[in-house]
Amino acid sequence: MTEYRLHGPPGCGKTYALANTWVPRAVDRFGAENVVICSLTRAAAAEIASRGTGVPKENIGTLHALCFRALGRPKIAEAHLEEWNEAEPALAIKGSSKAPSPENPYPEQAGSNRGDDLMARTQVLRHRRIPRSAWPSDCLHFQAAWDRWLEATEYQCFTGLIEEALESVDRAPGGPEVFIVDEAQDCSTLELALIRKWNRHASFAVMAGDGDQAIYQWRGASPKAFLGEKIPTEHNYHLHQSYRVPRAIHALASSWIAKASYRYAVNYEPRDEEGSIQRLNQITSKFPGELIGRLEQQEGTSMILAACGYTLKPMIRALKDAGIPFHNPYRKTHGGWNPLRGGAERLSSFLRPDPRAHDHSGLWTAEEIVAWMDLIKMDLAPFPRGAKTAARNLRAERAEKHQKDPIAATDGPRIFGPSGWRELQTIFEQDTALEWLQPKILPSKAKLTEYAFKVAASKGPKALAKTPQLVVGTIHSTKGSEASSVALFPDLSMSGMREWVQPGDPQDGVTRLFYVGITRAKRDLFILGRSGPCAVAL
């Protein structure tokens, strides 16, 4: 096996280079079926392979997915935690939001219970391949109980997939000749050990990444694991030109990352635009109100980023109170960062006949009628008994290819009754549709729609159907993305501050985290004020 490394600083087009140069060359030489593309997430790997390379679907995915196939698709323990909790109530695992995660990499405190905390700590020890003889006693106790439970149930855990494959599986599924790993700096010591073992049976491997953007140390990743294996100098390929980061922001980012004690420095050039950095010390995570006005004046997309999720709570409250639409498309399942989800879609469905809300207005589809009717108290609507059932029946009657077709005008009285149909026509003619709808919302749906009503009132009903221009989240959650303007809070949690004041790897981890935050900005960077003593000085 010959290992090559593609080093790609922020905005240099690493994924583009893989998709348009490295993968096509590998396919031409060895055949698409002999190429495997692997990344920390399936979405990232699929993005590389989406450029028409012909690499088979089963050859694209996460390392865990490859191990799952190689080991005969065992039952996964994490899907059966209720059984573990019943067997070991003193070590119950609830998936605590206070355990380390991309949303919360530096928890304000330990996990909400002992089991979550111990699970998180033992995972890191295993991923860093720390000998058990060096483990703390409480982690040893937890792991012994976990191992006994796995043996009794014949389940396999996620980390165990990697460990077992490293021990017993010599080649990657399909025996590929080429192994391409994107975001390799995010792989743990354990994962890289398996990748390199499998690579020994391949003709060559490409490890693409950037040690300066290694910010997953909370799960056992380290730039030393990515960069530590010696390879010939000529096997290191460098991308130099950033297509994202302008000069002013590049200068700050470069001076900031130079603080790291361990790194592989690459000659890195900024985009040919000055950009701007504004320091707004008066705006803090506790008092963020003025930031809203600043960002609304910006053109293009914006991000509000923090090291810790809890830092963003006052900002999120202010945005919701003001009816400013925001989201986090990189963490779609995080309800706190995607509060328009569900409510906005249903209000927008209701407003389908309103040209102020839709460029292509018209009568509803049966699916849209079902969606918004499920929001309302029928005893407050002028519709006949069975109106919801009639809408569902109409939806069921339609063949799949006609689901997106609008209803016929004759369907309106059939569903809503003649008087109800006339009332609906009237409220849309008078532009009072939302005012008509809001008092009829079911109490159980009030929270779902409250913010969406505020957005419609603040930004107009068309905003409900538009993708928000503002992203809110942790730096971890937006890694790999960019925005025209980025507002960055410098605050840390107590655990993050403990990392920051500890020289070496812990401090380097925090340095790299804020480096990633700084380099999300394409044009303007707003560095905000600290809300307390636990913060970095950017």
Percent of the chain that is helix, strand, coil (3-state, to 5):
50, 15, 35
Contact between 114 and 90 (Cβ < 8 Å): yes
Confidence of residue 321 (pLDDT cuts 50, 70, 90): very high
Band (pLDDT 50/70/90 cuts) for residue 98 is low
Q: Which residues contact 144 (CB under 8 A, 6 or more apart)?
A: none
Residue 222 has pLDDT above 90, yes or no: no
* Alpha-carbon span 534 to 498, nearest angstrom: 9
The model's pTM is 0.90
What average pLDDT does the chain have? 91
- Which bin fits 365, alpha (ψ -120 to 50), beta or left (φ > 0)? beta
**Residue partners of 118: CB distance under 8 A and separation at least 6:** 91, 111, 138, 139, 142
pLDDT tens sequence across 13-67 = 998 999 899 999 999 999 999 999 988 776 677 777 676 678 888 888 889 999 9
Give residue 105's pLDDT band: very low, low, confident or very high (50, 70, 90): low
Radius of gyration (C-alpha) of the chain in whole angstroms: 26
Q: CB–CB of 247/270 below 8 Å?
A: yes
**CA–CA separation, 327 vs 471, rounded Å?**
5
**14 Cβ neighbours under 8 A, 6+ residues apart:** 6, 8, 182, 208, 209, 210, 239
- List 278's β-bridge partners, or say none: 526
pLDDT recorded at residue 470: 97
- What are the CB-based long-range contacts (under 8 Å, 24+) for 93-99? 93/119
- The pLDDT, as a whole number, for residue 217 is 87
CA distance 524 to 406: 44
The vertex-209 CA angle with 207 and 214, nearest 5°, equals 125
If one counts every other C-beta atom within 10 angstroms of the C-beta of residue 397, the result is: 9
437 closest CA partner among 449, 422, 421:
449
- Which of 434, 368, 372 lies closest to 406 in space, CA to CA? 368
Confidence of residue 424 (pLDDT cuts 50, 70, 90): very high
Q: Which residue has the tokens 């040209």?
A: 355
